[in-house]
């Protein structure tokens, strides 16, 4: 069982996928209330399917329907027919055999189900015992028939890909001010807010950092004030980072601004060197 399907009791936005990034980056949102995930590359990391199942339930406060399967559509079928084998699931269950590729319309799959029942198919398992060929499926049910055949017999049909691009080795975050800032204390507060946001993003993409560079871009001149913090213990706890960085950065910024005749700062940037979690 390498795929899971989560169906929610209410309509959810696509951004709800963010909640499940700690399980796997290979997620797919199908409106209006379904999320599917591929765990083939992360199963060893979590230890077992039971651990992943428990984590899925912990990430959401309300009751979820969770199904498992050898493909996204088999996982969705398991959501609606939990603890039942394919031989126990009626052909009518094809309504919930969608996965990444929803049926074009309800009437098309209803017609397909009615024809299969007339042909003597009673369970999903019967479709594997007495398979129709691709040409016959396409002739009988056009696009729906082609999709049905691929879902049943093509193990690589429409695999889930990661929701975000491959992770770079560096992560940069910027903040531009509407006007020039001269107050060092205000700048330090802005940096701490930006650092918190940066660490939260790094946590979501399942990376850590032990090197942070803070850069202040001065107004009117092409000059920067930078401070890099090396060999910091990798962590995502903002308050621990703040204790280390804030006093050192405050002293460095105050001295540097004095040297530059108290010029203001136009914008700030935080750059983090990324590494995998140990």
Please state, rounded to an integer, the average pLDDT across all residues of the chain: 84
Mean pLDDT of 215-234: 79
Name the band, by pLDDT with cuts 50, 70 and 90, for residue 276. low
**Residue with the larger pLDDT of the pair 236 and 97:** 97
pLDDT at 148: 93
- At residue 65's C-alpha, the angle toward residues 205 and 103, to 5°, is 90
SS3 178: strand
Q: Which of 231, 185, 181, 177 is nearest to 209 (CA)?
A: 231
Q: Indicate whether this model's pTM tops 0.75.
A: no
Residue 219's φ and ψ, nearest 5 degrees, are -75, 150
Mean pLDDT of 90-119: 90
């Amino acid at each position: 069982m390498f795929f899971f399907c989560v169906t929610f009791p209410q309509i959810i936005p696509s951004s709800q996928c963010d909640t499940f990034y700690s399980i796997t980056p290979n997620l797919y949102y199908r409106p209006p209330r379904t999320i599917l995930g591929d765990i083939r590359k992360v199963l060893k990391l979590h230890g077992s399917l039971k651990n992943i199942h428990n984590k899925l339930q912990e990430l959401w406060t309300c009751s979820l329907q969770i199904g498992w399967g050898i493909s996204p559509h088999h996982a969705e079928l398991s959501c609606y027919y939990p603890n039942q084998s394919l031989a126990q699931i009626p052909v009518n269950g094809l309504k919930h055999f969608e996965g990444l590729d929803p049926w074009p319309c309800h009437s098309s799959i209803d017609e397909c189900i009615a024809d299969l029942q007339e042909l003597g198919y009673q369970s999903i398992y019967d479709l594997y015992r007495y398979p129709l060929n691709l040409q016959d499926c396409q002739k009988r049910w056009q696009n729906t028939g082609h999709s049905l055949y691929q879902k049943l017999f093509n193990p690589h049909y429409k695999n889930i890909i990661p929701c975000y691009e491959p992770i770079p080795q560096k992560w940069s975050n910027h903040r531009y001010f509407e006007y020039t800032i001269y107050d060092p204390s205000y700048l330090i507060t802005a940096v701490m807010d930006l650092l918190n946001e940066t660490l939260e993003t790094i946590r979501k993409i399942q990376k850590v950092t032990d090197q942070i560079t803070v850069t202040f871009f001065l107004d009117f001149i092409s000059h920067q004030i930078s401070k890099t913090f090396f060999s910091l213990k990798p962590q995502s706890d903002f308050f621990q980072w703040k204790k280390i960085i804030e006093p050192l950065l405050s002293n460095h910024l105050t001295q540097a601004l004095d040297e530059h005749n108290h010029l203001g700062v136009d914008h700030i940037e935080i750059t983090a060197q990324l590494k995998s979690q140990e």
